[in-house]
């Protein structure tokens, strides 16, 4: 609010203070919490951390208030993704979660997320969970920032163990995967040469239409952007890995965009046809960076597919020189 003050002297003083008194290198802060990735999180302790630090804006497991992002519907619950979202909330933020500053004609300043608006009024959801209704005729300025409503600096009140615990709590509170005969989610271990093979049978399957077809040992009927599959990997060493897909896709529905994500790295590509849905082949979709240790690998449609995305039998990840 001070950085957006109408008083130029206040604005300059605030800029000077925040430039010298804050740590703007969020990537370094995220890296400093890397040890949390190796710690075993506890759900009960994580619920306590969530109640103290997150519940004013998020609701999960009947704890808190729903102002920010809906954590129950998160697609990517990987440790890396959650670590980045908590410590660097401005790296990727949806427009509806941006912070606004409203200044009234009387000189009062309010800050919060834009909850609702009409031709005559706006409502701001403030950080303490309250709502402030303001008439447009009483507003001097309304400034939309490029910053998330979620504040930076949460690391000041969290230890590495606290972070591991709250991440474990969030990961445990999502919708359970769908169950099919022949499909059992399991941790994918590297082979002797360091590569990782992700069979459809080891994926956690989510979404309205995606299923495991035991006859073909594939993930089929992939027809919604809400469908996604998650593999848990034990990555032997950090580096860039080639993504090779064993799949089938009829030429008539080829060209849909597929998304591979590790939480902090994303690869998208357009699925080429294999001829018919009965013809399987291998396709090198590109490459993606993986960090050593436990990683969640999420595959989904990048946008609503036309007809079906593909029938996916397996993915192989090979480290590039």
Q: Is residue 118 part of a domain?
A: yes
What's the confidence (pLDDT) of residue 22?
Answer: 46
Residues of the chain with pLDDT under 70: 1, 3-6, 18-24, 68-70, 72-73, 75-76, 91-97, 127-129, 145-149, 174-175
Are 20 and 163 contained in the same domain?
yes
What's the confidence (pLDDT) of residue 7?
Answer: 75
CATH classification of the domain holding 33: 1.10.760
Are 11 and 157 contained in the same domain?
yes
Are 81 and 221 contained in the same domain?
no
Are 87 and 101 contained in the same domain?
no
The burial of 75, by beta-carbon neighbours within 10 Å (0-12 exposed, 13-18 middle, 19 or more buried), is given as middle
Are 137 and 238 contained in the same domain?
no
- Secondary structure of the chain: what % helix, strand, coil (to 5)? 25, 35, 40
What's the confidence (pLDDT) of residue 148?
Answer: 66
Cβ proximity of 106 and 135 under 8 Å: no
Q: Which two tokens stand for residue 286?
A: 């590109």
Helices assigned H by DSSP within the chain: 8-21, 26-32, 43-53, 79-87, 160-172
**Has this prediction a pTM greater than 0.75?**
no
């Amino acid at each position: 609010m001070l950085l957006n003050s109408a008083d130029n002297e206040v604005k300059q003083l605030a800029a000077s203070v925040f430039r010298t008194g804050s740590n703007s290198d969020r990537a370094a802060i995220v890296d400093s919490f890397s040890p949390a990735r190796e710690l075993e999180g506890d759900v009960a302790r994580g619920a306590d951390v969530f109640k103290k630090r997150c519940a004013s804006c998020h609701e999960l497991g009947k704890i808190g208030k729903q102002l920010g992002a809906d954590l129950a519907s998160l697609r990517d619950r990987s440790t890396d993704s959650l670590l980045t979202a908590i410590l660097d909330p401005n790296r990727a933020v949806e427009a509806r979660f941006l912070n606004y500053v409203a200044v009234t004609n009387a000189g009062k300043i309010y800050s919060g997320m834009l909850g609702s608006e009409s031709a005559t009024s706006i409502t701001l959801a403030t950080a303490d969970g309250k709502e402030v209704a303001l008439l447009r005729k009483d507003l001097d300025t309304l400034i939309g920032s490029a910053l998330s409503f979620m504040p930076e600096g949460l690391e000041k009140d969290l230890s590495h163990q606290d972070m591991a615990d709250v991440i474990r709590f969030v990961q445990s509170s999502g919708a359970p995967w769908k169950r099919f005969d022949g499909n059992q989610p399991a941790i994918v271990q590297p082979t002797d040469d360091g590569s990782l093979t992700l069979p459809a049978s080891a994926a956690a399957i989510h979404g309205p239409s995606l299923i495991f077809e035991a006859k073909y040992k594939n993930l089929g009927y992939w027809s919604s952007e809400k469908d996604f599959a998650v593999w848990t990997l034990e990555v032997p060493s950090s580096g860039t890995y080639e993504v090779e897909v064993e799949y089938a896709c009829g030429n008539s529905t080829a060209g849909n965009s597929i998304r591979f994500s590790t939480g902090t790295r994303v690869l998208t590509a357009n699925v080429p046809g294999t001829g018919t849905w009965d013809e399987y082949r291998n396709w090198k979709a590109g490459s993606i960076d993986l960090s050593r240790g436990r990683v969640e690998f999420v595959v989904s449609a990048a946008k609503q597919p036309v007809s079906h995305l593909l029938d996916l039998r397996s993915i192989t990840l090979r480290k590039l020189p």
